[in-house]
Structure 1
């Protein structure tokens, strides 16, 4: 008799009538994915994902996604630490700036990068003067992916850093530890769940990037044609076959599910640390 009210209190007091729209919402998210899986031709699936065009797009996506994640680590960890330790006013301004790529249409981000790094862009003109060209190269793919993926790492890590606080850092400083020693031995290990979650989400977003990549890097097979671009090209009647496009779409779906499982696996550790 005691457990039932307690269990109900833990679940909250959700009106039963809300279950219907909730179930409809789940169906709205799941059924299109089931339809995608249903379109996969099992007899040609392996051939589709191992075709030269598919392997090229897959390899390019994984390689540039890994490089973009590395760039986001180098830039995002210090930025997340700055956000977590800054005053409320400065943190609010910086957080708004970091969040902008999340709310902007990717195409707008691609246009902005093109105006910065293009032949007539602010930085592009300087780079052209020394013989460096970024647009429509593999480097442009990495830059576009980094631009859209960086907020995922920064916001995930900032939340973890704020949750751990500065108590252990102050104790280590009182015992004579230097700033870098505190950073490597105290700050990062305590925020490890948030860092891992941010890295996984960052990589997933990078390999799924389409809009900014298409505008800044183009769609050249073997050079800038990533998996999303290969899928788009296939459904527009060029490049890889539609069967390959469906197979690559399923591969991206599987990647997203793995990402969610990895993030979920780290949440209990994070909760326990707090």
Structure 2
């Protein structure tokens, strides 16, 4: 009973050498039950905030407990929806076709079998790295039944586009298993007490409301994948709030304030994309 459900967790990633030392000095003692006595490399803190309408925002923080060289890390992941008799098509805006797969225009995952890592060189717009995906589930008649979107909030701390461009040369890992891994950092050296934070989302999408509505405690973001034409999205509770574009490829907002029509976006091409912020 309530408006939100908040799930929090935190844990250390342990130092391998410290695990070995503990095991050698404590024969027969389960190290997994004594992690507070073993040195860590980094501390991870995660918060998942669920709101009505199957909307989930995420916050992921990393604190270096000693000097460390980090490999590939993304903090988010997903596996595609699966329903008998249905197919899933995955869209990822702002990336060029790669190895014959064009995720900007959608890829049927039933025919996908590659392991692809998208780099900054794969960006259609150089300053916009791959930042979100949308999977659509289609029934046998070819109609959308539900969507699932996942990605970063691209104007927050280290999940900003500019930070991800600086912190990794690769932006997305698309596995042949169809598991979906964004990349936030890779090959990054941290000193003790360095701190990073990434904000993301994992939302289901109603087929009649193709704007992905992402909410945190201060703002509402609209993530879009739209065909040519003018599109509106009702935000009756936000009339009078300011509206701005924070990322777009082929989309233009026609009002800078949420009004009686809500948010009005003009798309100049099919499968255009944009992220718009309301506050």
TM-score range, shorter chain: under 0.3
Normalized per residue, which structure has more helix?
1
TM-score, scaled to structure 1: 0.24
Normalized per residue, which structure has more strand?
2
TM-score, scaled to structure 2: 0.24
Larger radius of gyration: 1
- Which structure is higher in RCO with an 8 Å CA cutoff and minimum separation 6? 1
